[in-house]
Chains A and B, each alone.
Chain A
Amino acid sequence: MKSVIPREVESLWTLFTAPTVWALHFIVCYATVAIFCARGLASDISFDTIRLALAIFTLLALAIIVLSAYLAWRQWGFGSGDPPHDAPTRKDRRYFQGFATLLLSGLSFVAVAYMAIPLMFIAECQP
């Protein structure tokens, strides 16, 4: 199957992609709201603007995680074999890594989505 993204990217690095996106999303959300409230910027920018900006950022983070999950799925052979993939072969190693990356992507997706829930409900800055 021909693909836009070459199979060479499927390395150990793809394993880290989704958790890294989650960590970045986490720190950006926390830091943005904290600086917004601590600096008293409410008079210049409305809270809803911040909310919208972070919502777009959240969708972007989720999109990257979905992409990472797709690559992992491909590396796993689109689910052609069942885990645990523990044979000492190159193919099984690749499948195992792909499956692990897919699970991590799922976890990161849920974590980013949970992080976004307070963004929907937070009312305003409180001293």
Chain B
Amino acid sequence: MDDDRLTGPCCRPIRSKRSLGQQGIKGSCCRSVRPIASALFLCPLLVSCSGIQSALDPAGREAAHVATLFFTMLIGGAVIWLAVVGLLFYAARKRRVHSEKGAGQLILWGGAIFPTVVLAALLAYAVWLMPNIRPWFQEEAGSVRRIEVTGEQFWWRVRYLRQDGTVAFETANEVRIPVGERVIFSLRSPDVIHSFWIPVLGGKMDMIPGRDNQLTLMAEKSGTYRGVCAEFCGSSHALMAFTVLAMEPQDFEAWMAARQGASGAEDVEGLALFLKQGCDGCHAISGTDARGTIGPDLTAFGERGSVGAGTLENVEDHIARFIRDPGAIKPEARMPHFSMLPDAEIDRIAAYLKGLR
């Protein structure tokens, strides 16, 4: 998972060296302004039509309905806009004088009756589509898979629940779901309002303190996608993303089984250092004595798509940077800085974390 599917190329981590390098290149070649300007204009249009975080490139049933609604509205709006602009040009260039009565008729039909009918039709269409965009399934004897996601400042606590509602295991900043199976997400928050949004799979839903909001999604295409926090929640709101892996059912089951047996005790020396420096006060790693619950669970951290909830690519150098000074990478993150530790120890802990499988 060292690729940049989660974090790039259009969603390059804001603070990575590569992103800074790119900006430098862009800034130095502005001789011919027009092609660049038109490219800049077209780029967001084209880029936004596909990718790991685009509602217009759906990989789930709900998102497909959202995209249909969007394109219907877009085409309808474009046709009306063209008609209005056409009328404007006609009015600006016309030679023929129209009667006042004719103008009044145009205003009545074009300005009152037509919009009323069109809006009624669009409203009916959107409301009719609503059960598809946000389906609700009565839980049939607990047969639907449940995942509890808690929005924290500024990361995601993800708990996979068993059929009886108890927690099978916890992970963070990564959601894995089987393709073709409906999953119910229980969305919670202990601090402020966050919003859980996986654009390629469906609409967003707020995580409100004191409430347990339910969202169901179903992936139809396997792949790696990106989810984001869609409600401003503090300084690092924009640095609060997560990886979504839609896996084939058999791969998912294999991962579930492997994940429940995962242990961080293989690298004895690294673990000892991790515990000695008190990382276990906040972080848990299954199969070890680290059982902290304040920060993200770090079991199998090496497999994760990113460091710092979608902020940096998951490589040892970035892990070390994060440990040294989390606040420099994620402003107002609750993790304290560990810059007082010798570099060798930080690098060793980073290597240990990257090695966790």
Contacts and interface: CB of A to CB of B under 8 A. Distances in A.
A55 interface: no
Interface residues of A, number: 13
Nearest to A121: B127
B124 interface: yes
B127 A114 contact: no
Contact of B136 (A106, A121, A126): A126
A123 B120 CA distance: 19
B119 interface: yes
Interface in A85-127: 106, 110, 113-114, 117-118, 120-124, 126-127
Interface class of chain A by DSSP: helix
Given A110-B116, A124-B136, A118 B127 contact: yes
Contacts of A113: 120
A71 to B, nearest CB: 21
Contacts of B124: 117, 120-121
B118 interface: no
A127 B214 CA distance: 8
Interface in A12-51: none
Interface in B113-142: 116, 119-120, 123-124, 127-128, 130-131, 134, 136
A89 to B, nearest CB: 23
Interface in B94-129: 112, 116, 119-120, 123-124, 127-128
Contacts of B116: 110
B120 A117 contact: yes
A38 B200 CA distance: 32
Nearest to A83: B104
Interface string B198-242: 000000000000000010000000000000000000000000000
A117 B121 CA distance: 10
Nearest to B129: A121
A102 to B, nearest CB: 12
A121 B128 contact: yes
Nearest to B115: A110
Contacts of B128: 121
Among A114, A117, A124, chain B packs the most CB atoms within 10 A around the CB of A117
Given A121-B128, A127-B214, A114 B136 contact: no
Nearest to B134: A126
Contacts of B136: 123-124, 126
Nearest to B100: A82
Among A118, A120, A121, chain B packs the most CB atoms within 10 A around the CB of A121
B271 to A, nearest CB: 43
A110 B124 CA distance: 14
Nearest to B130: A121
Given A121-B128, A124-B136, A114 B119 contact: yes
A6 B347 CA distance: 91
Contacts of A106: 112
Contacts of A126: 134, 136
A48 B163 CA distance: 34
B86 to A, nearest CB: 26
Contacts of A121: 124, 127-128, 130-131
A117 B131 contact: no
B122 to A, nearest CB: 10
Nearest to B121: A117
Contacts of A124: 136
A72 to B, nearest CB: 16
Contacts of B214: 127
Among A113, A118, A122, chain B packs the most CB atoms within 10 A around the CB of A118
A121 B112 CA distance: 25
Contacts of B127: 117-118, 120-122
Contacts of B120: 113-114, 117
Contacts of B134: 126
Q: Which 5 A-B pairs have the closest CB atoms?
A: A121-B127, A126-B136, A118-B127, A123-B131, A121-B128
Interface of A: 106, 110, 113-114, 117-118, 120-124, 126-127
5 contacts: A117-B120, A121-B128, A122-B127, A126-B134, A126-B136
Given A110-B116, A126-B134, 6 more contacts: A114-B119, A114-B120, A118-B127, A121-B128, A121-B130, A123-B131
